[in-house]
Structure 1
Amino acid sequence: MSESVIPRPSGAQQGRRFSLGPALLFCPGSRPDRFSKAAERSDAVIVDLEDAVVPGEKEQARQNVVQALNWEEPGLDPATTLVRVNTASSGELDADLDALAGTELGHLVVPKCESVEELDALAERLPGVGIIPQIETPRGVLEAERLAHHEAVVALFWGTEDLIAGLGGVTARRPNGTPRGVIGHIRHTVLLTAAACGIPAIDTICGALADSQRLAVESEDAAAEGFIAKACVHPNQVATVRRAYTPEDADVEWAKALIAAFEQEAGLAMDEGRHAEPTVVGAFSFRDEMIDAPVVLQAQRVLSRYDATRQR
């Protein structure tokens, strides 16, 4: 009997199922001794074959990743592992894709992504893998909407240092650590573009390892503004990111009470309101405030983050 073919969902449909977060931890593909620790400490691991691996170690890094994804020691769960491949111009991409084709990898990060044709080629080589373009060049910013609409794309990711270099600048941040104006503009452009195309966005790293306050502020902004996750470069950053994405007790109480009121208004059973379409009822009163669909959606998101926190 032939196997049934399940149609590949659209990028927007996949985006709703993309829930690897909030703390995504980079780990060099050349350091398999760190794979297990990275997986234990984070919500998902981004194994890097690009910038974190020197040219002479690329082939060994590929072997390390394939071995780990195939559950050989040190194993990595393909469902919670992303791999960042090399750029096409590096001459290493074909070897990366050949190696990964023999695994059950779920997500591929594409650095310096600039064209839909590039995504077409990747999707053909690795069918069924969710692709995450990394927007980190001026051309990539201008092409972000076209990239986000690609059926294989499940999220947008962005980066700062290559962007500022491509713009002709010398530093992405002001002396106090805050992003310069053009970088902040690009960050929000990526977030808006992803949301408009129905997929989530991933916030870039905070490279200041000793500045926990800066990381906390960036993480809180990312969580509040709508980024589904933030990338980390050290295990010690994970707790700060998770803390930013963990709702306060008062917020959870408010969300639970509002959803209960929403369920009563909509005639839903208990706990159905967490996932119900917010527009099933019109505006209603809750604690002396008028509530409509966008506020219900915010409450649902608070509870989703709360549930994810408890699972972790």
Structure 2
Amino acid sequence: EATPGFLGVMLAKCESAEHVTATAARLPARTPVMALVESALGIERAYDIASAQPTSRLAFGSGDFRRDTGAADLAPALAYARGRLVVASRAARLPGPVDGPTVTTAEDALTDALTVTRTMGMSGKLCMHPEQALVINHALSPTPTDIDWARGVIDQLGADGARIENGSDLPKLARARTISRLATVFAPASMA
């Protein structure tokens, strides 16, 4: 039986689809599971994990991944793992994955890390400190310029794509839909 306010589970140390399904078997039906991938094995099995029901999202446990692999805490050293999670998420038709936390409380370090998060195609970031949430939401929110562009594209091509004229319109419309969805999700942060 579901508990009021219970929205889902973050499954730490997830390395296989079986971890997701075994956990789901112990939860109320249709409970979303966010799989926290924290090892080389988990990264290699990312698509299987993303495809397992009821995985709702992947998240990157960057600290434990670095411990497992010996990788440095530098964007290039973690790019492969982040990229795998992004591609696996997309292939499994999940939202972009959630990036690992920034441990320091220095706002400039968090801002730099968020640039990596966003440019890698990730759509969330774990927090180590509550005060990071507003900074993260603001950084990952579409800008007013992005939102205006998305509205224009959707108006021009039709929300259902009825007025698509060539192949280059398809990715434009997909991007516009993503921005529109993110604007709705991050609406409070967009207003800040």
Q: Which residue of 1 aligns with 2:12?
A: 111
Give how far 1:258 is off: 2.2
The gaps in structure 1 that reach 5 residues or longer are 1-100, 264-272, 285-289
Task: Tell me: higher relative CO, structure 1 or 2? Use CA pairs within 8 A at least 6 residues apart.
Answer: 1
Give how far 1:224 is off: 4.2
Q: Which residue of 2 aligns with 1:240?
A: 135
| SS at structure 2 position matched to 1:302 | helix
| Paired positions, count | 186
Q: Which residue of 2 aligns with 1:305?
A: 182
Q: Which residue of 1 aligns with 2:31?
A: 129
| SS at structure 1 position matched to 2:109 | helix
Q: Which residue of 2 aligns with 1:283?
A: 165
1:232-279 CA-partner distances (Å, limit 9, x unpaired): 11122122212212222322222222222223xxxxxxxxx2xx3x4x
Q: Which residue of 2 aligns with 1:216?
A: 111
1:68-126 CA-partner distances (Å, limit 9, x unpaired): xxxxxxxxxxxxxxxxxxxxxxxxxxxxxxxxx66252211111111233222211111
CA distance in 2, matches of 1:246, 1:186: 23
TM-score (norm 1): 0.54
Correspondence list, 1:66-215, <5 A: 103-104=3-4, 105-126=6-27, 127-167=29-69, 169=70, 172-173=72-73, 178-181=74-77, 183-200=78-95, 201-210=97-106, 212-215=107-110
1:4-58 CA-partner distances (Å, limit 9, x unpaired): xxxxxxxxxxxxxxxxxxxxxxxxxxxxxxxxxxxxxxxxxxxxxxxxxxxxxxx
Q: 1:208 to 1:293 in 2, by over 3 A?
A: same
Give the aligned CA root-mean-square deviation in angstroms.
Answer: 2.3
CA distance in 2, matches of 1:194, 1:106: 20
Q: 1:222 to 1:164 in 2, by over 3 A?
A: closer
Contact 1:219 1:240 in 2 (8 A): no
Contact 2:156 2:163 in 1 (8 A): no
- Which ranges of 4 or more aligned residues in structure 1 deviate by more than 6 Å? none
Contact 2:101 2:125 in 1 (8 A): yes
| SS at structure 2 position matched to 1:155 | strand
| SS at structure 2 position matched to 1:132 | strand
Contact 1:205 1:232 in 2 (8 A): yes
CA distance in 1, matches of 2:146, 2:26: 45
Name the % identity.
22
CA distance in 1, matches of 2:25, 2:75: 37
Equivalent residue letter for 2:3: T
TM-score (norm 2): 0.84
Q: 1:180 to 1:226 in 2, by over 3 A?
A: closer
Q: 1:261 to 1:180 in 2, by over 3 A?
A: closer
| SS at structure 1 position matched to 2:75 | coil
Contact 2:127 2:133 in 1 (8 A): yes
CA distance in 1, matches of 2:43, 2:168: 36
Q: 1:253 to 1:172 in 2, by over 3 A?
A: same
CA distance in 2, matches of 1:309, 1:137: 30
Higher radius of gyration, 1 or 2:
1
| SS at structure 2 position matched to 1:208 | coil
